[in-house]
Structure 1
Amino acid sequence: MEYRRLPKLSSEINSQNKNLLNVGGVGVGSEGPDPREVELFLEEILSLMQLGEDYTEFMVSKIKGLTNVDPDLGPRATKAFRSGSFSKVVQEITGFYVILEGFFMVENVRKAIRIDEHVPDSLTTSMVDDVFYVLQSCLRRAISTLNISSVIAALSGVSSLLSNEYHEALQQKMREPNLGAKLFLGGVGVQNTGTEIATVLNNLDVSSEYVLKLKHEIEEQCLEVFPAPVDGEKVKSCLSELGDMSNTFKQALNAGLEQLVATVAPRLRPVLDHVGTISYELSEAQYADNEVNDPWVQRLLHAVETNVAWLQPLMTANNYDSFVHLVLDFIVKRLEATMIQKRFSQLGGLQLDRDARALVSHFSSMTQRTVRDKFARLTQMATILNLEKVSEILDFWGENSGPMTWRLTPAEVRRVLSLRVDFKPEAISALKL
């Protein structure tokens, strides 16, 4: 063992950083052992550990054969072998493996973070693929040792790195002051800043996905290599931490997307405020004129295209869909609040239905996820405001609702009915909903 100077190397690593996985040291180069040299040792140790496991399995099977001679001899001999000098050497080698693998993992992840850069034609920066390649390689090697303790140590190291240094590196850019303000410098979208913000969000999205892929891969491999239930429970416990990290990245991503929406929202607000000035007490002539000269929908859609759609090529499909849906939440909430304050003629109700359909049609083309549920309340308001008489609501309510699920409460239905200038309050009050 001294010949390959493993004890000295392990000692150097421990003295350089007693806790290999603590936060820090990302920005500076390490002066400890060369990770490339450490990797050569790891490959040698891996071969030794595999041979050790094979030899142990062979010896235990031979010892079990002794039970034919003496039933008590097998268990005693197995216990003696497992506590003998060979097993102690295997344990010692395993200890060196854990130290070296932990060091190799940390150093390479730190390097990937340190040299992080934009990659042409990629939506993420280099560290995302680099970090997960390192983690995947280390975990695969740990499983190849056929030693459950090595796997648990490696999994623990992966969880610690992801939750500390890597998580910090992902969020660092989001903390830059006034990043949102820089997005629309001079009143127009700034491509470089847009790319910067989108890339940060993409890194979080892809990292969350990669964590789950890694978890699934390791879970499958461990089930195959370590079929014993007790080993399975140990692995399961560690893998649940990986699953938690995926959720942590998603939470950070959602916060980042909400931050982006908060930057875009003020640029949509003037158009939404303008909707408040539009009349829905329409005559036939006004309704016909609105068909030619749209009062507000096209202005809103243009504002969305100008302030939202330009980010689509910069974002992952998942992020852009989430972004559009958060923008929709903002728009729909404002529209609902505005419409509930208005008065409507029947043609006004028809106009609202036309407006809602135009919005649903346009936003459906912007995202892969359905948007109809976002507009369900607004569409149902239009349906109510379109009725010939108050009692017609009963044709759509309760048992008569068919496939439609009402998003409005009975109280809200009465409130919407009361917006019609020609519906009598006593008829609305008499309704049994």
Structure 2
Amino acid sequence: MAVTFPSPTPRSPRRPDAIVAPDPSSADMSPSLDFGDPTSFTALRVLTDGGAATRLLHECVAYQRALDARLDALLARRADLDRAAASLLRSAPPLLSLAASDAAALKESSSSTAALADALSSRVRHLDAAHSRADAALARAEAALDRSRALEATRRALAADDLAAAATAAHEFLAIDARFPTDDDLRRDLIDIKRRLEGLARRRLAAVVDAQDHPAVLRLVRLFPLLGLADEGLQVYVAYLKKVVALRARADFEHLAELTSATQPTSDRPDFVGCLTRLFKDIVLAVEENDGVLRELRGDDVAYAIIELQEECDSRGTQILRRYADYRKLARLASDINSYTKNLLSVMGSMASAAGGNEGPDPREIELYLEEILALTQLGEDYTEFMVNKIRVLRDVKPELGPRAMKAFRNGNFNKMEQDLTGFYVIFEEFFMVENVRKAIRIDEPISDGLTTSMVDDVFFVLQSCCRRATSTASINSVIAVLGGATSLLSNEYQEALQWRMREPNLGAKLFLGGVGVQKTGEEIATALNNIDISSEYVLKLRHEIEELCVELQQLHHL
């Protein structure tokens, strides 16, 4: 069928060529304005130059002619478009009819397939539900058989006095019952047997604990988690460990008490450090060697065992330290030192006053006590650091146990007793340092073939020893007290001793007026100057050494 097209819109008549005389070259140039853009009218309205207006007119005429040429080319293609449209209209109806029939057939096929799939999936769901019910029924049947077998195994094991097998079978029964809860005769029979089994386990565990049969204790305590008594088993086992530690510590302490109370001299001397070491060793071994058992009983409560064993350390360790303080009469000795001098570092303790007066406690005896106190406090500090780090590396620790454990170690009775010993240490160290420095000043004498007198090396050896001991205590209060005392001694008594020979009357006359003693006096003055010079070097070395020791101790405590 023929398709009618609307008649083309008549073109506006061209302007007569006589109106303008365009330049032939202007057709090849691109127009300065886009005459197809409505905004070009704004530029034309503001145009005032005649030459520019003429040029734009020529460009506009050329633009219009180009549009005419394009319209003519499009109109020339009209016949081809008419033929193509007619051919399409002739061939379209058969193709559209075929496509419609195919689409209908595809729809019918898809609908039937969807219905079949829906029916099949429904059957699959029903089959799956039936399979699940069958599995559940089989599982319940198997569970019922397993429960019967477990109950029978529990009875046989209990009759044979095999508590481990009975507990294992009862645990298996309870595990099955937790998955398939029931309230039948089998469960009630099992509960009765379990009560009898719990009673037997408790009685026998108490008996082997009293007998300290460690293998039997381990064997019986492992039954408690199987019977659902993990907390009770942990408490009983930790109490057993405390009892073992307490028995050994009591035996050591009684032997120590006998030695310290003996009226007749014996070959054995009280070993407080050894006694305290054995106590700490027993506690550490109780934690380390029984770590697996403790985790088996209650994996997240190893910290509980450490806290309970620390109570034994607080009790026995405090007894040992208090016994040492009584044996050495530290309180009376500290009182004697305080009464001997009210201020050991006073400037009034000059050479003259140091040379006379009553003798105080023997510094050599004090040095022995200092070494003993230092050994005891360092041992306690090492033990505390080890146990605290042990708690820090534990995983799955209950939130309330962490602060409780730290408080048990940092604020316990043993720690308080250690602080008391540290207080005695500071008093004794200051006394030892002052007395030995004063003694070194009193017995000062020239050294043969030496440039200084004996006082310089002796004083700084004493200060070095005291400062090293103070830093070894890892107590900031001790370090500050001892360093303050050393500073006071150097700036007062030692400085006065260095300057004493330089203040001799008529020193210039002795040197320059001649005489037999001129050479000797010159040597004494040179030695005094050397003392000052070497002392300044020793002060710097001592300061550097103390700083290095403090840094090392700080690094060790941060590890």
**TM-score, with length taken from structure 1:** 0.50
Shift of 1:15: 1.0
Higher Cα radius of gyration: 2
Pick aligned residue for 1:87 from 386, 396, 415: 415
Residue 95 of structure 1 aligns to which amino acid in structure 2? Answer: G
Task: Give the structure 1 partner of residue 537 of structure 2.
Answer: 209
SS at match of 1:26: helix
Task: Give the structure 2 partner of residue 123 of structure 1.
Answer: 451
Distance, in Å, in 2 between the alignment partners of 1:181 and 1:104 is 41
Q: Is the 8 A contact 1:132 1:210 kept in 2?
A: yes
Task: Give the structure 2 partner of residue 17 of structure 1.
Answer: 341
Distance, in Å, in 1 between the alignment partners of 2:413 and 2:557 is 28
Q: Is the 8 A contact 1:173 1:200 kept in 2?
A: yes
Q: Is the 8 A contact 1:67 1:74 kept in 2?
A: no
Residue 449 of structure 2 aligns to which amino acid in structure 1? Answer: D
Q: Is the 8 A contact 1:102 1:154 kept in 2?
A: yes
Residue 520 of structure 2 aligns to which amino acid in structure 1? Answer: N
User: What is the total number of aligned residue pairs between the two structures?
Assistant: 230
Pair 1:30–1:211, CA change in 2 (3 A): farther
Distance, in Å, in 2 between the alignment partners of 1:176 and 1:229 is 51
Distance, in Å, in 2 between the alignment partners of 1:26 and 1:190 is 30
Shift of 1:66: 5.6
Distance, in Å, in 2 between the alignment partners of 1:28 and 1:137 is 26
1:300-328 alpha-carbon deviations (Å, 9 max, x no partner): xxxxxxxxxxxxxxxxxxxxxxxxxxxxx
The answer to whether 1:3 aligns with 2:331 is no
Distance, in Å, in 1 between the alignment partners of 2:527 and 2:536 is 14
Single out whichever of 75-84 and 167-176 deviates more from structure 2.
75-84
The answer to whether 1:138 aligns with 2:462 is no
User: Of the two structures, which has the highest relative contact order with CA contacts closer than 8 Å and spacing of 6 or more?
Assistant: 1
Shift of 1:187: 8.6
Superposition map of 1:293-372 within 5 A: none
The answer to whether 1:26 aligns with 2:354 is yes
The answer to whether 1:44 aligns with 2:372 is yes
* Structure 2 residue runs without a partner (length 5+): 1-324
Pair 1:36–1:29, CA change in 2 (3 A): farther
Residue 450 of structure 2 aligns to which amino acid in structure 1? Answer: S
Distance, in Å, in 2 between the alignment partners of 1:71 and 1:194 is 76
Pick aligned residue for 1:55 from 383, 399, 403: 383
Task: Give the structure 1 partner of residue 512 of structure 2.
Answer: 184
Distance, in Å, in 2 between the alignment partners of 1:175 and 1:29 is 25
Residue 16 of structure 1 aligns to which amino acid in structure 2? Answer: Y
Task: Give the structure 2 partner of residue 194 of structure 1.
Answer: 522
Shift of 1:10: 0.8
Distance, in Å, in 1 between the alignment partners of 2:409 and 2:394 is 14
Residue 334 of structure 2 aligns to which amino acid in structure 1? Answer: S
1:72-123 alpha-carbon deviations (Å, 9 max, x no partner): 4313431343111111001001001000111000000000001111111111
SS at match of 1:71: coil
Distance, in Å, in 2 between the alignment partners of 1:204 and 1:15 is 34
Distance, in Å, in 1 between the alignment partners of 2:515 and 2:534 is 31
Distance, in Å, in 1 between the alignment partners of 2:424 and 2:399 is 37
SS at match of 2:451: coil
Q: Is the 8 A contact 1:26 1:165 kept in 2?
A: no
* Structure 1 residue runs without a partner (length 5+): 231-433
Pair 1:29–1:68, CA change in 2 (3 A): farther
1:235-265 alpha-carbon deviations (Å, 9 max, x no partner): xxxxxxxxxxxxxxxxxxxxxxxxxxxxxxx
Pair 1:202–1:100, CA change in 2 (3 A): same
Task: Give the structure 2 partner of residue 304 of structure 1.
Answer: none
Pair 1:202–1:5, CA change in 2 (3 A): same
Q: Is the 8 A contact 1:148 1:226 kept in 2?
A: no
Task: Give the structure 1 partner of residue 427 of structure 2.
Answer: 99
Single out whichever of 170-179 and 202-211 deviates more from structure 2.
170-179
